[in-house]
């Protein structure tokens, strides 16, 4: 399982590096689908962060495999090309989907690049730290990941 | 009325004030940084809960000038103060408005924080009592109200600077040493050790309630049929 995760991770990273995830043609989505997938991706990472937190603060026993799975899930979500879910106009509610995306997302590309860059680095470091199986290494990487999430929320998510 | 040195602010009130300064500034910083600091944010917030509870009790059983009734700002008092006819010592009627506003706003801040979540990995200690939607609403309040708090704190410090610079009144020294110039009959009385211990016990009880430590762990959900995928 560990090896599979590592392999999946490596594939994701390679795909990303070759630009094939980001550059490839993606299926057309409706505006409410864009919002739905976006929120689902973030909510999924929230779940995995919560699992890591519980293991790190001792409220549930630390489990190497669980920690690795959570960190790998976060990192692969980070690298899944979610940037494609920020289609212009997706800062407006659509269908049943409410969004909290700020319209500044589309007018401040440099800031987007900055927060997204920090977030990618944090994801990679978290996965690497989890691979060691050592909570004392995972803790600081987990904290950095949390800061990276917050960095983007502060800038681009409405209250 | 001969001016002499009087005891103005009792020791518990002064300890309350400077502990409040430290914990509130701490909570603002850790709240803004986020990440792993949220755990500390929660602890500092809980300390503020305890301080506010203490102050509430002390406002009734503390020494003369610490009592809410002593400085409660009525429109009449405020008007007199603005005409320059206010003669008291302690919080002046306008300052008293700001004291109540600060204490009230801080209460809203901690109440909403206790229910809040950061959508990443930190939940307020009373989060288990409510659902996520209500917690998100509380989080919105928490992030909104803190802006009013910034304004009020800026005003607080500016007012104290104004008194120091323009009116040549040093308000900070009495808040540190407790001593102030004033007529002897205005000397603070009351608020002895037994009352202090009572207020302390109430503060600890409220902090315990806010800490959520009494909330039983939720009954585990029935395990999903397969746990290995
Ligand atoms: C986080 C920052 C602060 C908070 C939350 C805060 C809060 C308060 C509160 C609640 C009171 C009323 C005391 C009472 O309960 O009767 C007060 C009074 C006072 N504070 Fe602060 N304070 C802060 C920062 C400061 C600072 C930095 C100074 C010093 C420059 C200061 C100086 C004073 C003084 C001198 C009084 C007494 C005012 C008077 O004589 O009427 N405070 N503060
Ligand atoms: C007087 C005490 C408190 C102050 C001054 C304070 C201040 C702050 C500040 C400045 C933020 C950042 C807001 C932003 O990102 O725009 C924050 C966030 C937060 N605070 Fe507090 N807080 C206090 C008490 C509490 C308490 C008691 C709790 C619960 C234990 C709490 C839970 C939270 C949570 C969960 C967030 C994250 C909200 C988010 O990321 O959207 N706070 N707080």
pLDDT in tens, A92-111: 999 999 999 999 999 999 99
Instruction: Grade residue A1 by pLDDT with cuts at 50, 70 and 90.
Output: very low
Tell me what pLDDT residue B113 has.
Answer: 98
Contact A149, A49 (CB under 8 A): yes
Q: Give the count of domains, chain B.
A: 1
Under an 8 A CB cutoff, do A143 and B36 touch? yes
Residue minimizing CA distance to atom 18 of ligand 2:
B31
* Ligand 2 pocket check for B110: Cβ under 6 Å: yes
**The pLDDT value given to residue A85:** 96
Phi, psi of A13 (to 5 degrees): -65, -45
Q: Are strands B179-183 and B3-7 parallel, antiparallel or unpaired?
A: antiparallel
Convert the pLDDT of each residue in A38-81 to its tens digit: 999 999 999 999 999 999 999 999 999 999 999 999 999 999 99
Specify the pLDDT at position A26. 81
CA–CA dist B6, B181 (Å, integer): 6
Cβ within 8 Å, pair B36-A46: no
pLDDT, mean over chain A: 89
pLDDT at position A8 is 54
Mean per-residue pLDDT for B11-18? Answer: 98
Q: Which residues, listed in sequence order, are joined to residue B4 by a DSSP beta bridge?
A: B182
For residue B226, is it within any domain?
A: no
pLDDT at residue A5 in the model: 56
Range of the domain at B158: 3-211
Residue linked to tokens 């997204």: A116
The per-residue pLDDT for A20 is: 46
In a mutagenesis test of the A interface, which of B43, B120, B146 is the best target, namely the one with the most A β-carbons within 10 Å? Answer: B120
Do residues B23 and B110 lie in contact, with contact meaning Cβ atoms separated by under 8 Å? no
DSSP 8-state symbol, B92: -
- Using 50, 70 and 90 to split pLDDT, how confident is the model at B225? confident
Ligand 2 center from residue A134 Cα (angstroms): 30
pLDDT for B174-193, tens place per residue? 999 999 988 888 889 999 99
Tell me if B155 sits within 8 A of B98, measured CB to CB: yes
CATH number of B26's domain: 1.20.950.20
Ligand 1 centre from B20 Cα, in Å? 9
Residues of B in contact with A152 (CB under 8 A): none
Domain-located, residue B90: yes
The pLDDT mean for chain B works out to 94
On chain B, the residues whose CB falls within 8 A of the CB of A42 are: 119
| B17 alpha carbon – ligand 1 mean position (Å) | 6
Residue B225 lies in a domain: no
Residue B122 lies in a domain: yes
B221 falls in which pLDDT band (50, 70, 90)? confident
d(CA A17, CA A95): 35
- Residue range A107-116: mean pLDDT, rounded: 97
Reported as a single tens digit per residue, the pLDDT across B24-33 is 999 999 999 9
CB A51 within 8 A of CB A70: yes
Fold of the A3-156 domain: 1.20.120
Contact B120 A46 (CB under 8 A): yes
Q: CA A8, CA A130: separation in Å to the nearest integer? A: 15
Query: Is there a domain that residue B224 lies in?
Result: no
* Residue carrying structure tokens 């960095």: A151
What mean pLDDT comes out for the span B154-166? 97
From the list A116, A85, A53, A135, the residue with the least C-alpha distance to B120 is A53
* pLDDT mean over B119-146: 97
CA distance B157 to A53: 38
Once rounded to an integer, what is the mean pLDDT over residues B127-131? 96
| CA–CA min distance B211, chain A (Å) | 15
Per domain, the residue ranges of chain A are 3-156
Half-sphere exposure of B9 (CA within 13 A, CB side): 19
The Cα of A25 is separated from the nearest Cα of chain B by a number of Å equal to 31
Q: Is the pLDDT of residue B224 over 60?
A: yes
Structure tokens at A129: 């730290």
Chain A, nearest residue to B140 by Cα:
A159
A12 pLDDT higher than 90: no
Number of helical (H) and strand (E) elements in chain B, helices listed first: 8, 2
Q: Which of B33, B35, B221 to mutate to test the interface with A (most CBs of A within 10 A)?
A: B35
**Per the CB < 8 Å rule, is B35 touching A46?**
no
- Number of A–B residue contacts, CB under 8 Å: 42
pLDDT at A17: 45
Domain annotation covers residue B183: yes
Over residues B152-163, the mean pLDDT reads 97
pLDDT band at B107 (very low <50, low <70, confident <90, very high): very high
Res B229 pLDDT > 50: yes
Whole-model pTM: value is 0.90
Q: Is the pLDDT of residue A154 over 50?
A: yes
Task: For ligand 2, say whether the CB of B26 is within 6 Å of any of its atoms.
Answer: no
Helices B11-33 & B132-165 angle (0-180, nearest 10): 120
| A138 has a pLDDT exceeding 50 | yes
């Amino acid at each position: 399982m560990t090896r599979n995760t590592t392999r999946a991770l490596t594939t994701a990273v390679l795909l990303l590096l070759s630009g094939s995830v980001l550059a490839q043609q993606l299926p057309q989505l409706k505006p409410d689908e864009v919002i739905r997938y976006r929120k689902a991706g973030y909510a999924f990472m929230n779940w995995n962060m919560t699992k890591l937190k519980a293991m790190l603060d001792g409220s549930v026993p630390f489990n190497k495999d669980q920690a690795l799975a959570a960190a790998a899930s976060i990192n692969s979500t980070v690298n899944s090309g979610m940037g494609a879910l920020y289609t212009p106009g997706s800062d407006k509610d659509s269908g049943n989907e409410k969004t909290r995306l700020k319209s500044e997302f589309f007018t401040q590309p440099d800031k987007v690049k900055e927060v997204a860059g920090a977030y990618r680095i944090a994801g990679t470091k978290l996965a690497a730290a989890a691979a060691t199986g050592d909570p004392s290494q995972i803790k600081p990487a987990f904290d950095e990941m949390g800061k990276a999430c917050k960095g983007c929320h502060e800038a681009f998510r409405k209250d | 009325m001969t001016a002499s040195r009087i005891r103005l602010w009792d020791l518990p009130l002064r300890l309350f004030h400077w502990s409040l300064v430290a914990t509130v500034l701490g909570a603002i910083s850790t709240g803004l940084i986020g990440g792993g600091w949220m755990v500390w944010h929660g602890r500092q917030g809980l300390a503020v809960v305890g301080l506010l509870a203490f102050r509430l009790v002390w406002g009734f059983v503390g020494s003369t000038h610490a009592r809410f009734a002593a400085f409660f700002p009525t429109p009449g008092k405020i008007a007199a103060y603005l005409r320059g006819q206010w003669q008291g010592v302690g919080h002046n009627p306008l300052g008293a408005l700001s004291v109540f506003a600060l204490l009230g706003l801080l209460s809203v801040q901690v109440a909403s924080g206790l229910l809040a979540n950061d959508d990443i990995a930190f939940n307020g200690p009373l989060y288990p009592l409510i659902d996520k939607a209500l917690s998100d609403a509380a989080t919105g309040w928490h992030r909104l109200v803190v802006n009013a708090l910034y304004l009020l704190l800026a005003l607080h410090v500016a007012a104290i600077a104004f008194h120091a610079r323009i009116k040549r009144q040093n308000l900070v020294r009495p808040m540190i040493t407790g001593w102030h110039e004033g007529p002897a009959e205005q000397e603070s009385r009351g608020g002895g050790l037994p009352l202090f211990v009572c207020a302390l016990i109430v503060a600890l009880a409220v902090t315990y309630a806010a800490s959520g430590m009494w909330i039983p762990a939720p009954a585990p959900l029935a395990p999903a049929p397969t746990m290995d995928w």
